[in-house]
């Protein structure tokens, strides 16, 4: 069983009415709430179709970006870590997600205490290691504290650098299987994925790099036909899901869920 993409559980959160006021690197307009929620429902259904037990949390109106639950926690087979988001408006999301994580992990839970910051969108977990890209939301102090935590659990962490003008490390990459990563050329050019097999996003489709392998499915944002076809040719079960509204808030497939198998 590949622990980096084989899961029994997931946690998601319904988009809030306040999501129209969410953070965005480039303002392309506010998301349409009805469409956003319809896409989110399709996403949750796709997770459940793999056989996973999905907990759908209520919307949090005080936190417009809180549907992007991945940034608030890191779920690993040996334990979970509550993050410390780098955007001031998102700091409260960590406390909000804690009860759901505690219910799943019990005593196998730790927390980034600071002063550093780190968000789950900058963390790619593979079968070999944990890759963390420093970014505007994740700093060296946050990476240092996470390294100390996961080292206790026997994981190896490698610190990298997210490209300039890219919000999160996983904006530009995702895990497809134990040996293969979907990536943009601009990220792979740094050599950060040496030793892995790579599939590159097609020209003009860099925004498709953020997908998730969840059991037998690759949840993939709709609207990028050439990259989707490349994954299909490579033998992956591609499930396309609308992401137009989440994308207006810099959100992708991985951002919308916490994926895990609780420790036994």
State the CATH number of the domain containing residue 28.
3.75.10.10
Overall domain count for the chain:
1
Q: Which of 12, 75, 192, 255 is catalytic?
A: 255
The vertex-192 CA angle with 187 and 193, nearest 5°, equals: 95
The whole domain housing 185 covers: 9-260
pLDDT digits (tens, 9 = 90+) for 209-257: 999 999 999 999 999 999 999 999 999 999 999 999 999 999 999 999 9
Q: What is the CA 127 to chain-centroid distance, rounded? A: 16
Are the beta carbons of 156 and 128 closer than 8 angstroms? yes
In a domain, 240, yes or no: yes
Residue 1 domain-assigned (yes or no)? no
Place of tokens 């509204």: 245
> Does residue 154 lie in a domain region?
yes
Is the pLDDT at 1 greater than 70? The verdict is: no
The whole-number average pLDDT for the span 39-56 is 98
Sheet holding 157-161, edge to edge: 123-125, 130-134, 157-161
Q: Yes or no: say if 238 and 223 are a contact pair by the CB < 8 Å rule.
A: no
Indicate which residue of 75, 117, 168, 192 is catalytic.
168
Of 170, 168, 23, 15, nearest to 88 by C-alpha is 23
Distances (CA, A) of 92 to 65, 222, 227: 11, 31, 36
The pTM for the full model equals 0.96
Which tens digits make up the pLDDT trace of 64-110?
999 999 999 999 999 999 999 999 999 999 999 999 999 999 999 99
The C-alpha atoms of residue 65 and residue 57 are separated, in whole angstroms, by 14
Asked whether residue 2 is assigned to any structural domain, the reply reads: no
Distance in angstroms (rounded) separating the CA atoms of residues 262 and 105: 6
What percent of the chain has pLDDT above 90?
Answer: 95
At residue 8, the 3 state secondary structure works out as coil
Q: Is residue 229 in some structural domain?
A: yes
Cis-peptide, bond into residue 115, ω within 30° of zero: yes
Does residue 3 lie in a domain region? no
With 70 as the cut, is the pLDDT of residue 118 above it?
yes
- At 249 the three-state DSSP class reads coil
Kindly state whether residue 4 falls inside one of the protein's structural domains: no
75 is catalytic: no
Round to whole Å and give the CA distance between 8 and 261: 5
Contact 257, 11 (CB under 8 A): yes
Q: Which string of b and e fits 189-211 if b means at least 16 CB within 10 Å?
A: eeebbeebebbbbeeebbbbbbb
Residue 168 designated active-site:
yes
What's the CA gap between 162 and 174, in Å, rounded? 14
Average pLDDT over residues 131-140: 97
Strand order in the sheet with 79-82: 73-76, 79-82, 109-111
Judge whether 211 lies within some domain: yes
């Amino acid at each position: 069983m590949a622990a980096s993409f084989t899961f029994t559980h997931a946690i998601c959160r319904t988009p809030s009415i306040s999501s129209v006021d969410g953070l965005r690197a480039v303002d392309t307009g506010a998301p349409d709430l009805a469409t956003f929620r319809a896409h989110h429902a399709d996403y949750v259904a796709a997770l459940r179709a793999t056989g996973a037990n999905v907990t759908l949390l209520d919307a949090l109106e005080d936190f417009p970006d809180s549907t992007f639950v991945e940034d608030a926690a890191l779920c690993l087979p040996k334990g979970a870590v509550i993050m410390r988001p780098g955007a001031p408006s998102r700091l409260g999301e960590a406390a909000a997600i804690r009860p759901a994580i505690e219910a799943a992990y019990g005593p196998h839970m730790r927390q980034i205490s600071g002063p550093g910051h780190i968000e789950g969108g900058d963390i790619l977990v593979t079968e070999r290691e944990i890759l963390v890209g420093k970014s505007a939301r994740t700093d060296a102090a946050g990476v240092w504290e996470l390294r100390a935590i996961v080292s206790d659990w026997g994981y190896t962490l490698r610190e990298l650098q997210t490209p300039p003008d890219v919000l999160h490390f996983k904006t530009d990459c995702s895990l497809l299987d134990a040996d293969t990563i979907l990536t943009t050329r601009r990220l792979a050019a740094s050599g950060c994925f040496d030793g892995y097999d790579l599939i590159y996003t097609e020209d003009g489709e860099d925004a498709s790099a953020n997908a998730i392998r969840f059991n037998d499915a690759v949840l993939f944002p709709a609207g990028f036909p050439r990259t989707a076809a490349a994954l299909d040719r490579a033998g992956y079960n591609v499930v396309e899901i609308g992401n137009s509204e989440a994308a207006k808030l810099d959100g992708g497939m991985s951002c919308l869920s916490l994926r895990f198998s609780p420790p036994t």
